[in-house]
């Protein structure tokens, strides 16, 4: 029976206010639709919402309605909104103009709010949920849509709540990229019209990360006002920032649907992905600090609390598909000697997998490589006091596989268009129960048979043809099915850690963090590329979730040759790992690598719990610090990317320190830094300097070679 539309049952106040430690959000409920009146620095007790509303009084604009339709949480076509609606629905072309009225508002405490609205014309119920986390100041917001009519409802859009933007937030910092060059920052001046990024890849994507920062002209890493917004969703998405001709602007993030992808039966609901946001007046590093603290307190699984992130050794760039037990054992010996704590066997271990042309889908051990199974290798790895990890790519299948030959109808497709192969593979339809059960049983059997501590869960292609056997577009349901499969694996094997890898950083978002414990930001281990990739990644994610590996001297992707000291120095500041052929390294390189691993372990707790500050530098430099919560200890990295225009270097001005605290300053990497003539390198170690001097005067950098770096350790 269809739910009747009920009249309001609670008196709705004119305004509602949420508070966190440093932020406030004021919701305006004077009209039919709720809208954000204020989001920013925490307001004092003497400041009332009525004062803000008074100060926001606008006059009628020429050639416009007397009163503009509000930038509501879900802007409405039925209210005359001229921008993009928050919700777009119809019933066979009718009942499309949403014009809802607030039915109830529930506020249980200072930080959570639920607003229920009903639209009689379209027969939908809209539920907006907003929360302001007290400790991290992160806003979480979602929009739920329920069909309370008697017929099927077609849903074209249901975005997360819209965020009005102050007029002086006139800079957009977006993200662009590609495979092996993800998380590249893309600054754009806000303009009249629409900034739009859309992703149809079926995963978070390499080229359009679902996050954006909007800030003022004066904002830098260390100061200025900014909003950071991120959609926690691992499928298709849309980011829209629109400035209307009257000067108003808003940001809108939500899931992107293909034609006919989402329809709701009577009493059926859809909830948008969660929008995560942060507001600050203290610069971009402060914005990142909010997101990092939220991830650490809300998206880090309890079983990982307090556990050190092991140093990895991954076999891929050491062996590719050329596997043998003897060489793997030799690599395990070398990995243990340089200090690795987890040995990860990458692609090539399963049936008929001699290249990327065959085997995906047949998740049984290749007896031609491992006649006695993986047991002998795992036992050998354990004897070296390392955990064992394994690479899998469950969502994919090669046409040359037993699975595909048996079940060719299990793949996504859009007939009569021919199947599109990418990396010689097709995508399995995870929405099918039989596919879900098959994949779970394969993974479950491996984890039952072998003591595997870690799964590198990969996805090496875009979903180009996201159609099921009925011919319907199903990216939304495919994403939910992935979450379901991951949750099922975790429930059955709770101590197994899972990495989200998608041909590198193709699936990195807060949604996937609900099911995984590490993200592989990029397949590129080129240290210079990694500095930019890791900088972009750090805007939203903390260091402990970032896989960062020491690659080979000659990067197979870029062809660039970089010293071991720089490669190791870059990898120190994440979930450190090694992905190079140790059997081909000379003793000197192995010694430097060993020293770097020791250094990482010494400072791992700080790196994986401290507050990140990125320093404002020129394009030729990269510098950042990680500071303990009590400001008594810090690590700072400075890298010179290319030759500077002047011979002498400038001063490195630290940030985030206590001005009156005395710090002992030591260069800890490279272990034996040197310069052509006497410099700071020769005199700084052991010096005691105030935070005031380090921040306001700074440290004279030595003359450095391009692609080199220094790491400073500060202790109070």
Cα 169 to Cα 673: distance, rounded to the nearest angstrom? 43
**φ, ψ for residue 597, nearest 5 deg:** -65, -40
**Domains along the chain?**
15-299 (2.70.98.60), 302-612 (3.20.20.70), 615-715 (2.60.40.1180)
Q: What pLDDT shows up at residue 10?
A: 61
Q: How far is CA 609 from CA 356, 438, 569, 612, 688, in A?
A: 38, 39, 18, 9, 25
Residue 20: pLDDT band (50, 70, 90) is very high
Beta bridge partners of 425: 422
Per-residue pLDDT at 676: 78
Could you give the strand order of the β-sheet that contains 249-255, starting from the edge strand earlier in sequence? Answer: 163-165, 249-255, 237-243, 193-199
Mean of per-residue pLDDT scores for the chain: 96
Whether residue 658 has pLDDT greater than 80: yes
Whole-number pLDDT of residue 266: 98
pLDDT beyond 50 at 3: no
**244-301 pLDDT, tens digit each:** 999 999 999 999 999 999 999 999 999 999 999 999 999 999 999 999 999 999 999 9
- pLDDT higher than threshold 90 for residue 548: yes
What positions carry a catalytic annotation? Answer: 458, 523
Query: Residue 1's pLDDT band (boundaries 50, 70, 90)?
Result: very low
Q: Does residue 8 surpass a pLDDT of 50?
A: no
Phi-psi region of 186 (alpha: psi -120 to 50; beta: other; left: phi over 0): beta
pLDDT for residue 382 = 98
Does residue 103 surpass a pLDDT of 80?
yes
Tell me the whole-structure pTM to 2 decimals.
0.97
pLDDT digits (tens, 9 = 90+) for 379-398: 999 999 999 999 999 999 99
Confidence of residue 673 (pLDDT cuts 50, 70, 90): confident
Read off the pLDDT of each residue in 582-592 and give the average, rounded to a whole number: 97
Among 81, 67, 98, 64, which residue's Cα sits nearest to residue 164?
Answer: 81
Percent of the chain with pLDDT over 70: 99
What would the two tokens of residue 212 be?
């954006």
Burial class (CB in 10 A: 0-12, 13-18, 19+), 52: middle
Distance of CA 82 to the CA centre of its chain: 32
Is-contact 277 169, C-beta < 8 A? no
Q: Please provide the DSSP assignment of 369-433 as one string.
A: T-TT-SHHHHHHHHHTT-EEEEEE-TTEE-SBSHHHHH-GGGB---TTSPPPPBTTBEEB-TTSH
pLDDT value at 527 more than 60:
yes
- Burial class, 18, CB count within 10 angstroms (exposed 0-12 / middle 13-18 / buried 19+): buried
């Amino acid at each position: 029976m269809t739910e009747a539309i009920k009249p309001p049952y609670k008196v709705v106040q004119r305004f509602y206010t949420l508070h966190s430690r440093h932020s406030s959000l004021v919701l305006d409920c004077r009209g039919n639709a709720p809208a954000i009146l204020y989001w920013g620095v925490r307001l004092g007790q003497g400041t009332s919402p009525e004062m803000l509303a008074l100060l926001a009084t606008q006059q009628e604009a020429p050639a416009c309605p007397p009163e503009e339709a509000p930038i509501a949480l879900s802007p409405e076509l039925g209210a005359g909104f001229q921008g993009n609606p928050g919700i777009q629905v119809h019933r066979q072309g009718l009942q499309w103009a949403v014009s809802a009225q607030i039915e109830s508002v529930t506020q249980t405490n200072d930080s959570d709010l639920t607003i229920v609205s009903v639209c009689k014309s379209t027969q939908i119920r809209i539920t907006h949920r907003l929360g302001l986390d007290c400790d991290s100041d992160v806003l979480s917001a979602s929009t739920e849509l329920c069909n309370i009519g008697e017929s099927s409802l077609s849903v074209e859009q249901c975005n997360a709540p819209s965020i009005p933007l102050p007029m002086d937030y006139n800079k957009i910092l977006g993200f662009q990229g590609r495979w092996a060059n993800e998380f590249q920052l893309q600054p754009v001046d806000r303009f009249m019209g629409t900034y739009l990024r859309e992703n149809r890849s079926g995963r978070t994507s390499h080229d359009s990360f679902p996050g954006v920062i909007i800030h003022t002209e004066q904002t830098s890493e260390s100061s200025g006002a900014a909003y950071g917004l991120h959609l926690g969703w691992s499928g298709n998405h849309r980011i829209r920032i629109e400035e209307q001709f009257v000067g108003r602007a808003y940001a809108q993030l939500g899931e992107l649907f293909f034609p006919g992808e989402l329809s709701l039966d009577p009493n059926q609901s859809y909830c948008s992905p969660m929008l995560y946001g942060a507001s600050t007046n203290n610069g971009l590093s402060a914005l990142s600090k909010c997101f990092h603290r939220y991830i650490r307190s809300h998206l880090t699984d309890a079983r990982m609390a307090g556990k050190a992130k092991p140093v990895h050794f991954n076999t891929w760039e050491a062996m590719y598909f050329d596997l043998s037990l003897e060489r793997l054992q030799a690599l395990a010996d070398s990995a243990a000697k340089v200090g690795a704590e987890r040995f990860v066997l990458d692609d090539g271990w399963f049936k008929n997998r001699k290249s990327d042309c065959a085997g995906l889908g047949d998740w049984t051990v290749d007896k031609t490589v491992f006649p006695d199974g993986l047991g002998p290798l795992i036992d050998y790895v354990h004897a070296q006091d390392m955990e064992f990890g394994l690479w899998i790519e469950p969502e994919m299948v090669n046409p040359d596989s037993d699975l595909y030959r048996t079940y060719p109808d299990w793949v996504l497709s859009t007939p009569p268009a021919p199947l599109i192969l990418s990396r010689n593979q097709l995508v399995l339809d995870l929405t099918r129960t039989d596919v879900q059960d098959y994949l779970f049983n394969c993974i479950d059997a491996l984890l039952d048979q072998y003591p595997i501590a870690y799964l590198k869960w990969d996805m090496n292609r875009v979903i180009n043809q996201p159609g099921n056997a009925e011919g319907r577009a199903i990216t939304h349901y495919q994403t939910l099915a992935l979450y379901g499969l991951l949750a099922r694996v975790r429930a059955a094997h709770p101590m197994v850690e899972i990495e989200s890898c998608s041909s590198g950083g193709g699936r990195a978002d807060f949604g996937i963090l609900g099911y995984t414990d590490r993200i592989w930001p990029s397949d590129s281990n080129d240290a210079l590329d990694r500095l930019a990739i890791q900088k972009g990644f750090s805007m939203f994610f903390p260091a402990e979730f970032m896989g960062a590996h020491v690659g080979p001297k000659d990067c197979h992707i870029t062809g660039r040759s970089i010293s071991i000291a720089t490669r190791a120095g870059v990898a120190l500041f994440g979930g450190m790992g090694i992905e190079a052929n140790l059997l081909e390294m000379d003793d000197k390189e192995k010694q430097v690598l060993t020293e770097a691993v020791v250094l990482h372990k010494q400072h791992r707790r700080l790196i994986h719990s401290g507050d990140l500050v990125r320093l404002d530098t020129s394009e030729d430099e990269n510098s950042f610090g990680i500071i303990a919560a009590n400001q008594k200890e810090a690590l700072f990295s400075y890298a010179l990317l290319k030759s500077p225009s002047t011979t002498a270097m400038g001063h490195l001005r630290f940030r985030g320190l206590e001005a009156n605290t005395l710090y002992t300053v030591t260069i800890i990497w490279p272990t034996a830094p040197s310069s052509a003539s006497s410099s700071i390198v020769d005199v700084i170690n052991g010096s005691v300097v105030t935070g005031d001097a380090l921040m306001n005067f700074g440290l004279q950098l030595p003359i450095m070679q391009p692609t080199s770096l220094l790491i400073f350790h500060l202790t109070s």
